[in-house]
A and B are shown apart, each in its own frame.
Chain A
Amino acid sequence: MNTPFKALDEMNRLTSPFPESVAVKDWKKAGRKVIGWYNPYVPEEIIHAAGMLPFEVTGDNEPVQMQGAERYIFSNSCSKIRTCWQLQLDGKYKFLDGLVSSSMCDQDKRLYSLWEYYNKLPYLDLIYAPRKRDEEAVKLYLADLEDFRDRLSLSQLRRIPDRDLADSIQTYNRGRELMKQLYELRKRDHPPVTGAEAVEVSKAAARLPRERFNELMEQLLDEIQRTGREIKKAMRLMIIGGDLHNTNQIANLETLDVVVVADEMDIGIRRAWGQVDTTLPPMEALARYYVLGRPVDKHNWISDGRLEFIGEMAEQYKVDGIVSEDVRFCTYNGWDRFDLKKQMDKRGIPILVLDVEYGENWSGQMKLRVEAFLEMLQNQAKAPTGKSPKK
Chain B
Amino acid sequence: MSTDNLITAEELAKQIKMAAEGIKKKPGLMKSTAGYMELVHKYVDRIVTAKEKGKWVATHGTQQPLEIYEAMDVVGLFIEFWGVISDVVKLEAVPEALSISASTGTPGEVCSFFRNMDGLMHAGKWPHTDFLLYATSSCDNVKAYHTLGRRYGIPSFGLERPYYPYTPQAMEHWKNEHKRLIAFLEEKTGKKLDYDRLKETVRLSYRLTELVLEIDKLVAHVPSPMSAECFGGVLVAMRLLPGTQDAVDYLTSLRDELQERVDNGIAAVKNERFRVMWSCFTPFWDPSLLGYMQQKYGAVSVCEVLARWRGEAKWMLDPDDPLGNLAYKTQNSPGNCQYSSSIDWAGQVVDQARQYKADAAIFNNNWGCKQASGLGPLVRDELMRQCNVPSLNLNCDVIDSTFTSRAEVEAQLDGFFEMIEASKAYKERRNLK
Tell yes or no: A2 within 8 A of B by CB.
no
Residue of A with least CB distance to B341:
A113
Hey, which chain A residues are within 8 Å of B144, CB to CB?
A: 335
Contact B162 A334, beta carbon cutoff 8 Å = no
Binds B, one of A131-139, A240-248, A278-286, A376-384: A131-139
Q: How many Å lie between the Cα of A77 and that of B365 in the bound state?
A: 11
Residue of A with least CB distance to B393:
A74
Hey, which chain A residues are within 8 Å of B180, CB to CB?
A: 136
Q: How many Å lie between the Cα of A103 and that of B139 in the bound state?
A: 11
Hey, which chain B residues are within 8 Å of A147, CB to CB?
A: 164, 167
Given contacts A113-B375, A303-B147, A339-B151, whether A76 and B164 have CB atoms under 8 Å apart is no
Hey, which chain B residues are within 8 Å of A339, CB to CB?
A: 147, 150-151
- State which of B106, B141, B146, B346 has its C-beta within 8 Å of the C-beta of A337: B106
- State which of B147, B164, B376 has its C-beta within 8 Å of the C-beta of A335: B147
Contact with B along A350-376 (1 / 0, CB 8 A): 000101000000000000000000000
Given contacts A328-B109, A329-B109, A341-B105, whether A132 and B158 have CB atoms under 8 Å apart is yes
Given contacts A106-B140, A116-B343, A331-B141, whether A76 and B158 have CB atoms under 8 Å apart is no
Tell yes or no: B142 within 8 A of A by CB.
yes
Given contacts A81-B374, A113-B374, A329-B370, whether A128 and B162 have CB atoms under 8 Å apart is yes
Q: Using a Cβ–Cβ cut-off of 8 Å, how many residues does chain B contribute to the interface with A?
A: 52
Tell yes or no: B367 within 8 A of A by CB.
yes
Hey, which chain B residues are within 8 Å of A234, CB to CB?
A: none
Shortest CB–CB separation between residue B284 and chain A, in angstroms?
Answer: 17
Tell yes or no: B222 within 8 A of A by CB.
no
Hey, which chain B residues are within 8 Å of A130, CB to CB?
A: 160
Tell yes or no: B173 within 8 A of A by CB.
yes
Contact with A along B93-107 (1 / 0, CB 8 A): 000000000001111
Hey, which chain B residues are within 8 Å of A334, CB to CB?
A: 106-107, 109-110
Shortest CB–CB separation between residue B344 and chain A, in angstroms?
Answer: 9
Tell yes or no: B169 within 8 A of A by CB.
yes
Contact with B along A106-125 (1 / 0, CB 8 A): 11011111101110000000
Contact B373 A74, beta carbon cutoff 8 Å = yes
Contact with A along B132-143 (1 / 0, CB 8 A): 000010011111
Residue of A with least CB distance to B110:
A334
- State which of A110, A143, A299, A336 has its C-beta within 8 Å of the C-beta of B370: A110
- State which of B173, B342, B373 has its C-beta within 8 Å of the C-beta of A113: B342
Q: How many Å lie between the Cα of A103 and that of B137 in the bound state?
A: 12
Contact B342 A76, beta carbon cutoff 8 Å = no
Contact A110 B371, beta carbon cutoff 8 Å = yes
Tell yes or no: A304 within 8 A of B by CB.
yes
- State which of A105, A113, A131 has its C-beta within 8 Å of the C-beta of B343: A113
Residue of B with least CB distance to A328:
B109
Contact B110 A331, beta carbon cutoff 8 Å = yes
- State which of B139, B341, B343 has its C-beta within 8 Å of the C-beta of A331: B139
The size bracket of the interface on A is 35 or more
Hey, which chain A residues are within 8 Å of B395, CB to CB?
A: 74, 76
Given contacts A105-B140, A304-B150, A337-B106, whether A110 and B374 have CB atoms under 8 Å apart is yes
Contact B139 A74, beta carbon cutoff 8 Å = no
Tell yes or no: A302 within 8 A of B by CB.
yes
Q: How many Å lie between the Cα of A72 and that of B375 in the bound state?
A: 8
Q: How many Å lie between the Cα of A314 and that of B376 in the bound state?
A: 41
Q: How many Å lie between the Cα of A103 and that of B161 in the bound state?
A: 12
Contact A73 B150, beta carbon cutoff 8 Å = no
Would you list which residues of chain B between 314 and 352 have a CB under 8 Å from chain A?
A: 341-343, 346
Tell yes or no: A95 within 8 A of B by CB.
no
Tell yes or no: B415 within 8 A of A by CB.
no
Contact B143 A303, beta carbon cutoff 8 Å = yes
Contact A109 B341, beta carbon cutoff 8 Å = yes
Shortest CB–CB separation between residue B4 and chain A, in angstroms?
Answer: 24
Would you list which residues of chain B between 363 and 396 have a CB under 8 Å from chain A?
A: 365, 367-378, 381-382, 393, 395
Shortest CB–CB separation between residue B171 and chain A, in angstroms?
Answer: 11
Most buried by B among A72, A113, A130, A299: A113
Contact with B along A299-327 (1 / 0, CB 8 A): 10111100000000000000000000010
Contact A331 B370, beta carbon cutoff 8 Å = yes
Contact A112 B367, beta carbon cutoff 8 Å = no
Given contacts A331-B139, A336-B147, whether A107 and B374 have CB atoms under 8 Å apart is yes
Given contacts A301-B146, A339-B150, whether A331 and B140 have CB atoms under 8 Å apart is yes
Hey, which chain A residues are within 8 Å of B370, CB to CB?
A: 77-78, 105-107, 110, 329, 331
Hey, which chain A residues are within 8 Å of B146, CB to CB?
A: 301-303
Tell yes or no: B111 within 8 A of A by CB.
yes
Hey, which chain A residues are within 8 Å of B177, CB to CB?
A: 136
Q: How many Å lie between the Cα of A93 and that of B144 in the bound state?
A: 35
Tell yes or no: B176 within 8 A of A by CB.
yes
Contact with A along B116-154 (1 / 0, CB 8 A): 000000000000000000001001111111110011000
Hey, which chain B residues are within 8 Å of A256, CB to CB?
A: none
Tell yes or no: A154 within 8 A of B by CB.
no
- State which of A74, A131, A303 has its C-beta within 8 Å of the C-beta of B377: A74
Shortest CB–CB separation between residue A150 and chain B, in angstroms?
Answer: 11
Contact B110 A335, beta carbon cutoff 8 Å = yes
Shortest CB–CB separation between residue B378 and chain A, in angstroms?
Answer: 5
Shortest CB–CB separation between residue A207 and chain B, in angstroms?
Answer: 25
Given contacts A328-B109, A341-B105, whether A110 and B173 have CB atoms under 8 Å apart is no
Hey, which chain A residues are within 8 Å of B136, CB to CB?
A: 131
Tell yes or no: B163 within 8 A of A by CB.
yes
Given contacts A72-B377, A106-B140, A113-B375, whether A131 and B160 have CB atoms under 8 Å apart is yes
Contact B106 A77, beta carbon cutoff 8 Å = no
Q: How many Å lie between the Cα of A147 and that of B166 in the bound state?
A: 12
- State which of A74, A110, A136 has its C-beta within 8 Å of the C-beta of B365: A74
Would you list which residues of chain A between 123 and 173 have a CB under 8 Å from chain B?
A: 126-128, 130-132, 136-137, 139-140, 143-144, 147
Chain A interface residues toward B at CB < 8 A = 71-78, 81, 103, 105-107, 109-114, 116-118, 126-128, 130-132, 136-137, 139-140, 143-144, 147, 299, 301-304, 326, 328-329, 331-332, 334-339, 341, 353, 355
Question: What 8 A-B pairs are tightest by C-beta distance, nearest first?
Answer: A110-B374, A113-B342, A331-B140, A106-B370, A128-B163, A74-B373, A77-B373, A143-B169
27 contacts between A and B (CB under 8 A): A71-B377, A73-B374, A76-B368, A77-B370, A109-B342, A113-B343, A113-B378, A116-B342, A118-B378, A126-B341, A128-B162, A128-B163, A128-B164, A131-B136, A136-B160, A140-B160, A143-B167, A144-B164, A301-B145, A301-B146, A328-B109, A331-B141, A331-B370, A332-B140, A334-B107, A334-B110, A336-B147
Identify 13 new A-B residue pairs, CB closer than 8 A, beyond the known A76-B373, A77-B374, A143-B167.
A112-B341, A113-B375, A114-B378, A128-B163, A139-B169, A143-B173, A303-B146, A331-B111, A331-B143, A335-B106, A335-B141, A338-B147, A339-B151
